[in-house]
Amino acid sequence: MAFAFSPNGRPYILAAAGTEVMQRVGDEDEVTYFLKTHRRPALWDFEGGAEPVILDSDWDDLVEPFAFSPDGQFFVWASYHQATPGVWDTQSGAALGEISGHTGRVSAFALSPDGHLIVSVSDDQTLKLWDFESRTELATLPIALSVGGIAFHPASPQFACSVPDKNATLLRADATSLGQQAWDRQIYDLFGIEYGPIVVTAVDRDGDLAVRCPGCLAALHVKRSQLGTEMPCSQAGCGARLRLNSFALT
């Protein structure tokens, strides 16, 4: 089962992809959450309390991983037993194609902060880097069989994935071994690839809009007319290019 919040402003959409979907019942004073079985991915208005929208899909399987694009327009999910993650439109719920190339279950993936790249790891013991828009494969690397998770760096073209730490052994208090259960991280640099403008979302504080630059972490004031446009970071020496989402968080 996988959960993700859309990055869009209110109403937040909670995508519950898996065998269970949270539902809210009761009045404002007494709200209870319970789990209801759904095998297909669902989009749920987190604040509205309405029935979740169950997506029309042939897949009837445990679904994970799951991720929204940085601008919230798309989401990607993979079925537990299939090798092809699907791309979907958040607003319409329409299927927008699949990412085909792995031959085993895709256990984890991540979208780059500019929304242009997706990296995936699979039980076929490969890691693949893709162009997200065209769904074309850019690179394939061999990996260990069990990769726990994967994430892009928020500002520079790198990603990290968790791999079993072969040198780590957990010991009980009486010094008997529990086996190799620790994890380590592996960092990959994307040589020859630069991020495009990094997608950021402005925060609205009493009418004042600001974004935080992922490159230098400075808070930058922006005008409402700049929402949906690109801008360079104004901090000296930063050089980051930012793409402001058209919505702001309040």
Between CA 68 and CA 235 the distance in angstroms is 29
With CB under 5 A as the contact rule, the residue among 215, 222, 245, 248 that binds Zn ion is 215
Measured from the CB of residue 235, what is the shortest distance to Zn ion in angstroms?
4
Measured from the CB atom, the residue of 162 and 235 that comes closer to Zn ion is 235
Task: Provide the sign of the torsion angle of the four alpha carbons 36, 38, 39, 41, taken in this order.
Answer: negative
Measured from the CB atom, the residue of 154 and 164 that comes closer to Zn ion is 154
Task: Provide the sign of the torsion angle of the four alpha carbons 119, 120, 121, 126, taken in this order.
Answer: negative
Task: Please tell me whether residue 156 binds Zn ion under the rule CB under 5 A.
Answer: no
Task: Please tell me whether residue 211 binds Zn ion under the rule CB under 5 A.
Answer: no
Measured from the CB atom, the residue of 141 and 219 that comes closer to Zn ion is 219
Measured from the CB atom, the residue of 101 and 215 that comes closer to Zn ion is 215
| # chain residues binding Zn ion, by CB under 5 A | 7
With CB under 5 A as the contact rule, the residue among 13, 87, 127, 213 that binds Zn ion is 213
Task: Please tell me whether residue 161 binds Zn ion under the rule CB under 5 A.
Answer: no
Q: How far is CA 47 from the centre of its chain?
A: 21
Tell me the residue ranges of DSSP E strands in 19-171. 20-25, 32-37, 42-45, 53-54, 63-68, 74-79, 86-89, 95-98, 106-111, 117-122, 126-131, 136-142, 150-152, 158-164, 170-171
With CB under 5 A as the contact rule, the residue among 160, 216, 227, 249 that binds Zn ion is 216
Find the farthest-apart pair of alpha carbons in the chain and give their distance in angstroms, rounded.
65
Q: Shortest CA distance to 99 belongs to which of 152, 151, 140?
A: 140
From 153-161, 163-171, 173-181, 209-217, span contacting Zn ion (CB under 5 A): 209-217
Q: Which of residues 225-244 bind Zn ion (CB under 5 A)?
A: 233, 235, 238, 240
Site of interaction with Zn ion (CB under 5 A):
213, 215-216, 233, 235, 238, 240
